[in-house]
Amino acid sequence: MEDFDMDADDNIEQENTVSPVKKPMQPSGIAMDALAGLLDSYSTTDMINSRRAATAIPLQIQQSSYSSTAKVAPTVRTPVRPATITQASTPNVAAFHARSNKAEVVVEHIGNQSNNKNTNETKKAPVIQLKSLVKPYKSMYQTMYKRANVLNKQIEEFEDLFLSTLNDKESEKSQVLLYPIGNGVQDEVHLVGRVVCDSAGQLNGQSIVLEGSSRTSKCNRVRLDVSSLPSYSLFPGQIVLVSGIYTNDGCFHAKQLTDPPLVPRPIETKVKTDLNFMIASGPFLLANGNLSAFEELLRRAEEDPSVQSLILLGPFIDERSSYVQNLQDKTYEQVFQDLIEKIKSFRIKTILIPSLRDIHHDLIYPLSPFTINDNKDLAILYGCEPSFVSIDGLQCAITSTDILCHLSSEEISLNQTTERMCRLIRHLFQQHTFYPLIPPNESVSIEYEQAMQYAKIDSLPHLFITSSDLRPFIKFIDSVCAINIGRLVKNQDSTMINNASGTYAKIFLSKTDDDISNGTILNDHLHIQILRL
């Protein structure tokens, strides 16, 4: 649980919603009150209030002419983007310049064969390729039928994946078959479906429902009894294979739960030259829109002769910033253009990736790039959110959406020995997507047809990079190096002078003739530092 900690100085402002009045969730199942207390002790106010609470939803009463008993039909509310957001304070210029912990190493990994040296050699620009959206797409045209069809197709794809994986291990005489959900049978059977919650509250041990596909189960659902499982890790939207039997009360008693296989590993990759790049995530503006923190980041990248490129993740114009919310003398686009001009003045090979918190950009996930085919400055590349970036063959999966924080507040688990952050990231690789949570967090609006194409993880990356409000970390999971770089400017009390700056990462990979898709080789040749600005 240590990775679930926030920095002690974090004071991120909470989001308010104007949705129906919420009521406290009633504890049930696996000691939910104790679980909630544990999460609260490791969270700031922003994370606590971002959790979906049970919502007081009006019940639709249908009177029946054949019975005096009222039939109650609960209506599930679809999470929406908050209409109002509390202003967030950022450090002022004086507090930022008065800090005494500049360039402090927060987290570091040094491989056995990494030889990172800041030499005076001329920077050689690497070959960078972006796999991303080409142009913006029309949003809010998604009908309920299309949305349901996309989500159903995803379950069917996993059904085929489970069958091919299991039957490869079995003999021809004992081929595994999937049984339709909702059809009671006395034998032990295998079901594939999506984990959903039976109400508008948070998932718990007694509210787990398994939803089947249209092809196999006609979209039927069955309540899932997980009391006999020795261990599990579940969240809404997760697609799993469950083996068990139907009980007399209409539930499915699970005896074994199987996660989908990981996405395929990348093809053999060899790094012929040393790679050295920096990566940082917004917010970038101090109080009153000051660019001192952003300028210092660019200056460090330019003054370090070994740094070849810089990757910047949004938010660039943060919707939570008090300066942005009270902006009067400029437009959002003009403030963003000021940041672009700063990047051009430093002449650093830079990649820009947007965020859902960028108030001047589209707010539908996945996000299209900032600029489309009209960038005259070849030193700046524009990617989408999420993005796959190839740097001289090094495959980097990058997302600015805080999926780890969102999963942390929704996942339930029992008897798990794996570290929490490693487990959450592994869920992404097993579900083959950057954002497997369904329904999504209230701050995320998803266009599912586009997400199934552009937010899909087709192969394991070498590096998985995210910017989360959780504590920065460096983890190795299934031959993938996962990095949470934190945020460059933190919303906090400006009196905390020594913590007036956030963090960024510096990544070095030494050249090798070995295949870096091997986790051990990648571990040995990487040198990663997460530094204070």
Q: Which has the higher per-residue pLDDT, 10 or 428?
A: 428
The closest of 8, 143, 144 to 76, measured between CA atoms, is 144
**Angle at the Cα of 383 from the Cα atoms of 425 and 14, rounded to 5 degrees:** 55
Measure Cα distances from 238 to 44, 196, 403, 477, 523 in Å. 26, 8, 14, 19, 30
Q: What's the confidence (pLDDT) of residue 22?
A: 37
Q: What's the confidence (pLDDT) of residue 139?
A: 83
Please check whether the domain covering 144-258 is classified as CATH 2.40.50.430.
yes
Residue 31 has pLDDT above 50, yes or no: no
pLDDT digits (tens, 9 = 90+) for 137-168: 888 888 899 999 999 999 999 999 999 888 77
Q: What's the confidence (pLDDT) of residue 213?
A: 96
The long-range contacts involving 418-424, CB below 8 angstroms and separated by at least 24 positions, are: 419/3, 419/475, 420/1, 420/3, 420/4, 421/3, 421/4, 421/470, 421/473, 421/475, 421/482, 421/484, 422/475, 422/477, 422/482, 423/233
Q: What is the mean pLDDT of the chain?
A: 81
Q: What's the confidence (pLDDT) of residue 376?
A: 63
Q: Identity (one letter) of the amino acid at 469? A: D
Q: Which has the higher per-residue pLDDT, 174 or 109?
A: 109
Measure Cα distances from 326 to 84, 319, 322, 323, 500 in Å. 13, 10, 6, 5, 22
Q: Where in the chain is the domain with CATH 2.40.50.430?
A: 144-258
Question: What is d(CA 181, CA 444) in angstroms, rounded to the nearest whole number?
Answer: 30
CA torsion 339→345→351→355, rounded to 10°?
Answer: 0
Q: Where in the chain is the domain with CATH 3.60.21.60?
A: 93-139+274-532
277 has which bridge partners?
A: 309, 507
The closest of 397, 394, 390 to 274, measured between CA atoms, is 394
Q: What's the confidence (pLDDT) of residue 51?
A: 41
Residue with tokens 């979209």: 219
CATH no. for 93-139+274-532: 3.60.21.60
pLDDT digits (tens, 9 = 90+) for 441-472: 999 999 999 999 999 999 999 999 999 989 99
Overall average pLDDT of the 413-433 stretch: 94
Q: What's the confidence (pLDDT) of residue 268?
A: 84
Q: What's the confidence (pLDDT) of residue 153?
A: 96
Which sign does the torsion angle of CA 148, 455, 258, 5 carry?
Answer: negative
Residue 301 has pLDDT above 70, yes or no: yes
Contact 458, 428 (CB under 8 A): no
Instruction: Mark residue 37 as left, alpha or beta (left: phi above 0; alpha: psi -120 to 50; beta: remaining).
Output: alpha
Residue 173 has pLDDT above 80, yes or no: no
Residue 414 has pLDDT above 50, yes or no: yes
Q: Identity (one letter) of the amino acid at 91? A: P
pLDDT digits (tens, 9 = 90+) for 359-411: 999 889 999 998 754 556 678 999 999 999 999 999 999 999 999 999 999 99
Q: Which has the higher per-residue pLDDT, 57 or 328?
A: 328
Residue 298 has pLDDT above 50, yes or no: yes
pLDDT digits (tens, 9 = 90+) for 484-493: 999 999 865 4
173 alpha-carbon distance from chain centroid: 42
Q: What's the confidence (pLDDT) of residue 429?
A: 96
Complete DSSP assignment for 454-515: HSB--S--SEEEE--SSPPEEEEETTEEEEE---SS--S-TT-GGGSS-EEEEEEE---SS-
Residue 78 has pLDDT above 60, yes or no: no
Overall average pLDDT of the 62-90 stretch: 43
Q: What's the confidence (pLDDT) of residue 32?
A: 41
3-state secondary structure of 42: coil
Question: What is d(CA 173, CA 177) in angstroms, rounded to the nearest whole number?
Answer: 12
DSSP 287: G
Residue 82 has pLDDT above 50, yes or no: no
